[in-house]
Amino acid sequence: MKFEIAIPKSAITVICLVQSDPMLVVYTKMDGRLEEIGRTEVILNSLEPLWITKTMINYQFEIVQPLVFRIYDIDTKYHNTPVKMLNLAQQDFLGEAFCNLSEIVTKFNHSLSLNLRNGSGHALQGTMTVHAEETASSRMAVEMTFHCLNLDNKDTFSKSDPFLRVSRLSESAVAIPICKTEVINNNLNPVWRPITLTSQQYSSRDDPLLVECFDFDASGNHELMGALQTTIAQLENLYKSKAGANFYSKKGQKKLKGQLFLDTFQEKVQHTFLDYISSGFELNFMVAVDFTASNGDPRTPQSLHYIDPSGRLNSYQQAILGVSEVLQFYDKDRRFPAWGFGAKMPQGPVSHCFNLNAITNDCEVVGFEGIMSAYSSTLYSVSLSGPTLFGPVINKAAEIASHSAQYGNNRYFVLLIITDGVITDEQETKDSIVRASDLPLSILIVGVGNADFTQMRTLDADLGKRLQSSTGRVATRDIVQFVPMREVQGGQVTVVQSLLEELPGQFLEYMRTRGIKPQPPQHASAPPAYPPPPQL
Contacts of 149 (CB under 8 A, 6+ apart): 189, 244, 258, 259, 261
Instruction: Judge whether residue 526 has pLDDT over 60.
Output: no
Query: What's the pLDDT at 473?
Result: 93
Phi, psi of 444 (to 5 degrees): -105, 130
Query: What's the pLDDT at 2?
Result: 24
Report which of 75, 97, 71, 70 is spatially closest to residue 86, judged by C-alpha positions: 75
Residue range 293-323, pLDDT digits in tens: 999 999 999 999 999 999 999 999 999 999 9
What is the mean pLDDT of the segment spanning 272-292? Answer: 93
Query: What pLDDT band is residue 522 in, cutting at 50, 70 and 90?
Result: low
Distance from CA of residue 83 to its chain's centroid?
Answer: 35
447/456 Cα distance (integer angstroms): 9
Instruction: Judge whether residue 331 has pLDDT over 90.
Output: yes
Instruction: Judge whether residue 7 has pLDDT over 50.
Output: no
Query: What's the pLDDT at 11?
Result: 37
Query: What's the pLDDT at 463?
Result: 55
Instruction: Judge whether residue 121 has pLDDT over 90.
Output: no
Q: Are 461 and 467 in contact (CB under 8 A)?
A: yes
Residue range 142-170, pLDDT digits in tens: 999 999 999 999 888 889 999 999 998 87
The CB density around residue 353, as the number of other CB atoms within 10 Å, is: 19
**Would the CA dihedral through 176, 180, 186, 191 be positive or negative?**
negative
Q: What is the mean pLDDT of the chain?
A: 86
Instruction: Judge whether residue 523 has pLDDT over 70.
Output: no
Domains of the chain: 2-134 (2.60.40.150), 138-269 (2.60.40.150), 281-514 (3.40.50.410)
What is the mean pLDDT of the segment spanning 314-337? Answer: 93
What is the mean pLDDT of the segment spanning 125-133? Answer: 86
Q: Are 440 and 402 in contact (CB under 8 A)?
A: no
Category of 214 on φ-ψ map: left (φ > 0), alpha (ψ -120 to 50) or beta: beta
Please tell me whether residue 163 adopts helix, strand or coil conformation.
strand
What is the mean pLDDT of the segment spanning 452-464? Answer: 75
Query: What's the pLDDT at 492?
Result: 61
**339: which strand partners?**
288, 355
Phi, psi of 8 (to 5 degrees): -75, 160
Residue range 360-385, pLDDT digits in tens: 778 999 999 999 999 999 998 999 99
The residue that leads in pLDDT, 526 or 55, is 55
Query: What pLDDT band is residue 201 in, cutting at 50, 70 and 90?
Result: confident
Residue range 342-359, pLDDT digits in tens: 999 988 899 999 999 877
Query: What's the pLDDT at 530?
Result: 40
Whether cis (ω within 30° of 0) applies to the bond prior to 387 is yes
Query: What pLDDT band is residue 525 in, cutting at 50, 70 and 90?
Result: very low
Distances in whole angstroms, Cα of residue 406 to Cα of each of 72, 403, 409, 478, 512 = 52, 5, 8, 22, 18
Q: Are 459 and 429 in contact (CB under 8 A)?
A: yes
Instruction: Judge whether residue 401 has pLDDT over 60.
Output: yes
Residue range 471-489, pLDDT digits in tens: 999 899 999 999 888 876 6
Query: What pLDDT band is residue 217 in, cutting at 50, 70 and 90?
Result: confident
Query: What pLDDT band is residue 32 in, cutting at 50, 70 and 90?
Result: confident
**Would the CA dihedral through 481, 292, 425, 431 be positive or negative?**
negative
Q: Are 374 and 342 in contact (CB under 8 A)?
A: no
What is the mean pLDDT of the segment spanning 235-260? Answer: 90
pTM above 0.85, yes or no: no
Instruction: Judge whether residue 263 has pLDDT over 90.
Output: yes
Query: What pLDDT band is residue 286 in, cutting at 50, 70 and 90?
Result: very high
Instruction: Judge whether residue 3 has pLDDT over 50.
Output: no
Query: What's the pLDDT at 489?
Result: 66
Q: Are 239 and 264 in contact (CB under 8 A)?
A: yes
**34: which strand partners?**
29
483/498 Cα distance (integer angstroms): 7
Query: What's the pLDDT at 303?
Result: 95
What is the mean pLDDT of the segment spanning 121-132? Answer: 86
What is the mean pLDDT of the segment spanning 527-531? Answer: 40
Label each residue of 242-288 as H, E or C: CCCEEEECCCCCCEEEEEEEEEEEEEEECCCHHHHHHCCCEEEEEEE
105/109 Cα distance (integer angstroms): 8
The residue that leads in pLDDT, 189 or 278, is 189
Query: What's the pLDDT at 490?
Result: 61
Query: What pLDDT band is residue 524 in, cutting at 50, 70 and 90?
Result: very low
The residue that leads in pLDDT, 39 or 203, is 39
Query: What's the pLDDT at 141?
Result: 87
